[in-house]
């Protein structure tokens, strides 16, 4: 076990937890009910993955253990410049899928050399596996009322990933974070800060979320025009949303990340709405955001989001740019721009 833990320490991964790979039938049933209610929005892949999310053996045949780790991505948010819209904290630097994924792949390579008869499969948020409940079982944290994984000392300001393996390992609980004496727990009794702060009402009850209304879903995953009522509730978030995290009592104080790649200002903590509206081609978008999580939205999504932010931030001076975009070749941009022009009182 110490050898395996040493591979993680060599990659500066301080969180190290192991659980068995037994399925989670209760969570699977809840998830299928969630899908039946349509809370997944247009994320069809969630329904396609339903049979695999809570069964690690569907991900890796004969899987016996799940090893979890994580990276702190927190950077304190300053006051945004005028005309800028906010970027969610996880997306400020390099894409965490690559940052954490590369470390895990190197660890898996070392494990294959040490345990040549076993198999290892790395995952960072892009596999079918429902990582949060399994990570909670490994003691990495607990699922908060905002549905995020919370770890005392880090709050929810960290991303997780891990390795599924056919190697049978004993359960390992992570060491406490910072000076904290515990790594598990629960939300304070009666606390509703995250629910009450959700701008669109996506968090409608403890541990209950309608993802189709979530600003992170709307600005990142949704590919079409955004419903006017939801758009007007999205505030100045241009990519992702931290509203439910910023009010969580577990999220203050938290030390800033030490990971240079996550500190690198790829997108930064905010983007100029005018600059984003001025991106005219996919090639220009890629040149600006290559290596950033913002790539997920594509030009179509990010410029669409900027149209909404222009309205919610009252940027009337951008009407000429928005009017030009009503003729954009991208139909989603053109329609959202037309809505924005009307909302701002333009012709």
Tens digit of pLDDT for each residue in 213-234?
A: 999 999 999 999 999 999 999 9
Query: Is 126 a member of any domain?
Result: yes
- Give me the phi and psi of 297, to 5 degrees please: -75, -20
Spans of the chain, pLDDT less than 50: 179-184
The reported pLDDT for the residue numbered 253 is: 87
How many separate domains does the chain show? 1
- The answer to whether the CB of 238 falls within 8 A of the CB of 219 is yes
Spatial separation of the C-alpha atoms in residues 109 and 86, rounded to whole Å: 38
What is the DSSP code (8-state) at residue 37?
T
Query: Is 294 a member of any domain?
Result: no
Look at the chain and count its residues: 347
- Give me the phi and psi of 270, to 5 degrees please: -155, 165
Query: Is 195 a member of any domain?
Result: no
Tell me which of 125, 180, 196, 275 is the catalytic residue: 125
Q: Which residues of 146-155 are buried (b: 16+ CB within 10 A; e: fewer)?
A: bbbbbbbbbb
Burial class (CB in 10 A: 0-12, 13-18, 19+), 184: middle
The two three-digit tokens of residue 135, written as one number? 């990570």
Check if 196 is active-site.
Answer: no
Query: Is 150 a member of any domain?
Result: yes
The reported pLDDT for the residue numbered 141 is: 94
Query: Is 279 a member of any domain?
Result: no
Query: Is 291 a member of any domain?
Result: no
Query: Is 148 a member of any domain?
Result: yes
The two three-digit tokens of residue 234, written as one number? 């999205």
Query: Is 267 a member of any domain?
Result: no
Give the global pTM: 0.94
Spatial separation of the C-alpha atoms in residues 83 and 265, rounded to whole Å: 18
Residue 101: give the domain boundaries: 2-81+90-165
């Amino acid at each position: 076990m110490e050898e395996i833990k040493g591979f993680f320490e060599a990659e500066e991964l301080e969180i190290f937890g192991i659980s068995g790979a037994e399925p989670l039938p209760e969570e699977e049933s809840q998830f299928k009910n969630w899908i039946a209610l349509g809370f997944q929005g247009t994320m069809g892949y969630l329904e396609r993955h339903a049979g695999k999310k809570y069964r690690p053996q569907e991900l890796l045949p004969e899987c016996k253990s799940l090893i979890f780790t994580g990276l702190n991505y927190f950077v304190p948010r300053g006051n945004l410049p005028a005309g800028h819209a906010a970027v969610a904290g996880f997306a400020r630097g390099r894409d965490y899928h690559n940052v954490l994924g590369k470390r895990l792949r190197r660890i898996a390579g070392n494990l294959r050399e040490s345990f040549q008869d076993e198999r290892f499969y790395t995952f960072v948020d892009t596999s079918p596996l429902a990582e949060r409940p399994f990570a909670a079982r490994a003691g990495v944290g607990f699922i908060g009322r905002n549905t995020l994984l919370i770890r005392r000392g880090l709050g929810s300001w960290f991303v997780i990933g891990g390795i599924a393996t056919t190697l049978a390992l004993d359960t390992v609980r992570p060491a406490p974070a910072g000076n904290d004496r515990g790594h598990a727990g629960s939300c304070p009794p009666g606390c509703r800060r995250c629910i009450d702060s959700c701008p669109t009402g996506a968090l409608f009850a403890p541990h209950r979320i309608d993802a189709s209304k979530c600003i992170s879903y709307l600005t990142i995953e949704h590919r079409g025009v955004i419903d006017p009522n939801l758009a007007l509730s999205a505030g100045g978030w241009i990519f992702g949303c931290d509203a439910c995290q910023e009010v969580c009592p577990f999220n203050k104080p938290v030390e800033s990340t030490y990971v240079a790649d996550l500190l690198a200002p790829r997108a930064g903590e905010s983007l100029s709405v005018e600059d984003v509206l001025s991106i005219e081609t996919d090639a220009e978008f890629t040149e600006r955001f290559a290596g950033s999580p913002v790539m997920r939205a594509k030009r179509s999504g990010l410029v669409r989001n900027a149209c909404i932010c222009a309205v919610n931030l009252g940027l009337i001076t951008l009407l000429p740019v928005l009017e030009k975009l009503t003729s954009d070749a991208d139909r989603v941009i053109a329609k959202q721009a037309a809505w924005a022009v009307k909302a701002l009182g333009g012709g």
